[in-house]
Structure formats: structure tokens, C-alpha cells
Amino acid sequence: MDVHLPVLTAAVVKGLAVSGDDAYMDCTFGRGGHARAMLDALGANGRLLGLDRDPQAVHAGRALEEHDARFSIEHTSFDGLEAAAKRRALHGELAGVFFDLGVSSPQLDDAERGFSFTRDGPLDMRMDPASGQPVAAWLNTASGADIARVLKELGEERYARRIASRIVEVRSIKPLVRTFELADLVSSAYPARDRYGPRHPATRTFQALRIHANDELTKISVALPQALRCLAPGGRLAVITFHSLEDRIVKRFLRDHSRPEQGPRRLPVPNAHLLAPIASLARPVRPGEAEIAANPRSRSATLRVAVKQRCPA
């Protein structure tokens, strides 16, 4: 059985103010750690809809669905949350929407999924293996310039051009198909002085390729406005991010939607009476020392919570 330690669980439940018989959405079900905590806080008539594009996660969700009638799950990416809410008559009715972005521990720990450079497996990295293009297929056909761009923009990799050149050189002899092959190649492209730091040289490359293969940043940008539309007035949005690119998108969204709308010039409505679409709640929450010690993968997690403003009386 896959083991997954959910991050900042208590803070998520508190941030979403989960209680009573309201309806909530977990847009990244994974293995259900956060979902189960939310169900524990819900009333007997509460509802929780889970989404995930990973078939293995959906399989785990089906088991929970059979066990708890308050829960249901759909096999869809989180940028399909608005359509899912409409199908369930939950559009504009949700008390909370939650995202736990990035890759889960079961995905990292399954060598056959190809997400990890510490386990040898096929270079795949797709969240849904039935859709999209495996990383190997793209990596063996893309131009060196495109590879370097992806590594630079999505991995913030300082040696992107060196790594891309090495990939093009190696694949001309033999296609890259395994995670260990790519990890070793990236290490060889690094200057010797930088190969043995606290972070494995392949970390940023694998991050970039995973984000590219799953179009993750675009999906986040599309999903956040959908979440806002699906929330009821007073409903809460909670998002956990794990790296700067994700967090930058979330911060920008919260900032841009926390500004009061400007009233029509000729209308006698003071701007002070016009509410911003959302209001951020408190400061970002990060794991404490005890949680990081128990789950080292939580160390880069950041939770941000915001509330959809109520309409003026």
C-alpha cells in the first residue's frame, strides 16, 4: 500500500474552516490524507468532492467513496474543477477549495512512474499515464534550444545550456529512456565543483521536465480563477506550493484579486464600499521542525489561504 504523509494537514483544515454540513473540494486528492482530515471535521451531511488525474489516486479515492457516502471523486485534472462543480450542482456553493500542488510521495516512490532520479525507471513523469507525451519522447526529439529553455524557465537551472547540449550529444548515439541515464548525464554536465553539494545536480532538471510534461503552471493559472468562481461568498481557498514558480503564480493571483474594484466614475459609490474579490488570511504557513523531521519532503511547503469576500449588504 502506498504511504503518503500529507503536509500541514491541521493548518489546511483550520484555514478552510471545515465544519458543519457545507460542501468542499479537494482538487488534488492524491492518497486522501487531506481529504480524510477534512471528512473528520465535516458534519454528517457535509460533502467533499475529490479530483485527481492520476488513475492510481482515483483508485484510492474510489475505496474512500465506498466507505464514506459524503465523499465522491472524479478522474480529472484540477483545471477541470469548474466543470466538475457544475456537474455536481456545486458551482458558487463551495465553502472551500483546496490544492496541494506538485508531485506526491507515492508518485516519487514508484520507479515505474519515472518522477525520481533516485529510482531507476522509464522516463515518463506523466501524472496521467494515459494522456500526453512521456518525457523520453519529448527529450529525444526536442531541439537543444527548447530543452535549454525548459530547464532554465521551469527548473531555474543555471547550467541549462550545458545540460541540453549534453542531452543532444548523448541521444545522437542512443536514445535516453531511463531516469538513471538522465540523472547521470546531468551530473556529468555539471562542473566538478558543483556536483557534490546538498542538492543532487538532477533536481532542477527533473522538476522542469515534470512541470513541462504535465503543463503544471498553465493549469494552476487556469484553475485559480475557476476556484474563485466556484466558491460561495465567504468560502475559502487554500493552496500548498512546493517551489517558487508555483508560489509566484499563487501570490500574484491573491495580490491581483485582493484589490478593491474601482466603481464607475459617475456613480456615487465610495471605493471604500467596494470589496475586493478575495482577502488573504494571515501570513503564509510553513511546516515546523517536528513535521519536517517526520517528513523531510514537507520542508519546502507553503500554505496560503484566502477568503472570497461577501457582497456588501
| Residue ranges of domains in the chain | 9-106+216-308, 110-214
pLDDT in tens, 127-177: 999 999 999 999 999 999 999 999 999 999 999 999 999 999 999 999 999
Tell me, what's the pLDDT at 265?
A: 57
Which distant-in-sequence residues (6+ apart) come within 8 Å of 145 by Cβ?
A: 164
Tell me, what's the pLDDT at 261?
A: 63
- What's the CA gap between 191 and 98, in Å, rounded? 41
Tell me, what's the pLDDT at 185?
A: 97
Helices (H), 26-143: 33-41, 55-67, 81-87, 105-109, 135-139
Helices and strands in the chain: count of H runs, count of E runs? 13, 7
Which numeric CATH code is attached to 9-106+216-308? Answer: 3.40.50.150
Which distant-in-sequence residues (6+ apart) come within 8 Å of 28 by Cβ?
A: 51, 52, 78, 98, 99, 100, 101
- The sign of the CA dihedral 29, 34, 40, 42 is negative
CB–CB of 37/9 below 8 Å? yes
Q: Residue 192 gets which letter from DSSP? A: G
CB–CB of 240/12 below 8 Å? yes
Q: Any idea which residue has 488570511 for its cell?
A: 281
Tell me, what's the pLDDT at 108?
A: 87
CATH class name, domain 110-214: mainly alpha
Specify the pairing of strand 302-308 against strand 231-241: antiparallel
Tell me, what's the pLDDT at 2?
A: 46
Give the start-end residues of each E strand in the chain: 23-26, 47-52, 71-75, 94-100, 231-241, 278-280, 302-308
CB–CB of 112/122 below 8 Å? yes
Q: What is the pTM of this model?
A: 0.90
Tell me, what's the pLDDT at 3?
A: 52
- Alpha-carbon separation of residue 287 from 6, 7, 102, 187, 226 (angstroms): 11, 8, 16, 30, 28
Cell reading at 53: 488525474
Tell me, what's the pLDDT at 266?
A: 56
- What's the CA gap between 74 and 112, in Å, rounded? 24
User: Which residues in the chain show pLDDT less than 70?
Assistant: 1-4, 261-274, 310-313
Chain centroid, CA 14 distance in Å: 20
